[in-house]
């Protein structure tokens, strides 16, 4: 049985650079240097998250909010504890 961590993110497209930008409520804010057209922002989000967490792109799956700024992302092969450690500086 594989492990998977779920992450709620709020995407802000067309930013100057791609980066995490703190949190709002229970969501992590992700600024993307990609437009929200033709799935480019989703692809950029998957690419950034896979590099940040050190997993393959195929391990990052948008399971909710594909056409919304509010997304739920599942990261296969990452435990919730690992996720929380990586994001500790963002969650306050």
2 pLDDT more than 70: no
**C-alpha distance from residue 6 to each of 9, 37, 63, 89 (Å):** 10, 24, 9, 18
3 pLDDT more than 90: no
How high does pLDDT run on average in the chain? 91
Q: Which CATH class is domain 4-86?
A: alpha beta
53 pLDDT more than 70: yes
92 pLDDT more than 70: no
pLDDT at position 29 is: 95
Q: Which helix (H) or strand (E) holds 23?
A: strand 19-24
Please give the Cα distance from 50 to 70 (Å, whole number): 18
Domain ranges of the chain: 4-86
pLDDT bin (cut points 50, 70, 90) of residue 68 is: very high
């Amino acid at each position: 049985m594989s492990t998977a961590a779920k992450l709620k993110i709020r995407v802000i497209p067309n930013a100057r650079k791609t980066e995490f930008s703190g949190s709002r409520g229970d969501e992590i804010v992700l600024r993307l240097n990609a437009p929200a057209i033709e799935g480019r922002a989703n692809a950029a989000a998957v690419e950034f998250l896979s590099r940040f967490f050190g997993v393959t792109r195929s391990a990052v799956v948008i399971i909710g909010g594909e056409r919304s700024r509010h997304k739920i992302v599942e990261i296969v092969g990452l435990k919730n504890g690992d996720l929380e450690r990586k994001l500790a500086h963002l969650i306050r």
